[in-house]
């Protein structure tokens, strides 16, 4: 059995939340989170945020499971729902960060619907500004 990581960073980022939406940037964020898990022993939770009552488009959680199936990491998965009339995807993520006690959020700079001219999407920007934890934005 491998010895537990002794890196200082392993104590800073024990619980990592990675947001996926099926986009390539979110899959890149997923792979970075998996690397944190392998190198530092981080516990990773993969989350997909969707409007309450809707069905996921292309099921990003299934796509994430497929990407990670050959990797030696223990990952948990969550579907987060929000009320589109009073909440946003970013507020659902920030709420999860607070309630779950995460140390780090890894998120793609832009999601599936953002314009390619934007350097950072509204959800990523809102999470960066409002999350009470470190946020790593993947480009």
Structure confidence at residue 10 (pLDDT): 77
Rounded to the nearest integer, the mean pLDDT of the chain is 91
Cα 106 from Cα 20, distance rounded (Å): 9
98 pLDDT tier (thresholds 50, 70, 90): very high
Local structure of residue 81 (DSSP, 8 states): E
Smallest CA-to-CA distance from 106 within 126, 136, 131 is with 136
Contact 51, 82 (CB under 8 A): yes
Examine the pLDDT at 114 and tell me if it is beyond 90. no
Backbone angles phi, psi at 53, to 5 degrees: 85, -5
CB atoms within 10 A of CB 132: 10
Local structure of residue 72 (DSSP, 8 states): -
Cα 55 from Cα 9, distance rounded (Å): 37
- List Cβ neighbours of 125 (8 Å cut-off, separation of 6 or more): none
Per residue in 3-23, pLDDT tens? 665 677 778 899 999 999 999
Local structure of residue 2 (DSSP, 8 states): P
Q: What is the pTM of this model?
A: 0.90
What angle in degrees, to the nearest 10, is found between the helix axes of 122-130 and 89-100?
Answer: 30
Burial class (CB in 10 A: 0-12, 13-18, 19+), 45: middle
Q: Once rounded to an integer, what is the mean pLDDT over residues 70-83?
A: 95
């Amino acid at each position: 059995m491998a010895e537990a990581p002794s890196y200082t960073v392993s104590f800073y980022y024990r619980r990592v939340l990675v947001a996926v939406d099926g986009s390539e940037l979110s899959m890149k964020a997923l792979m970075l989170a998996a690397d944190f898990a392998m190198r530092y022993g981080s516990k990773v939770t993969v989350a997909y945020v969707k409007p309450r009552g809707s069905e996921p488009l292309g099921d990003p959680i299934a796509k994430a499971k497929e990407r990670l199936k050959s990797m030696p990491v223990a990952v948990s998965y969550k579907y987060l729902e929000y009320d589109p009339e009073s909440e946003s995807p970013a507020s659902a993520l920030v709420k999860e960060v607070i309630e779950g006690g995460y140390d780090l959020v890894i998120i793609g700079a832009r999601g599936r619907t953002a314009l390619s001219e934007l350097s950072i999407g509204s959800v990523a920007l809102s999470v960066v500004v409002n999350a009470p934890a470190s946020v790593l934005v993947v480009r």
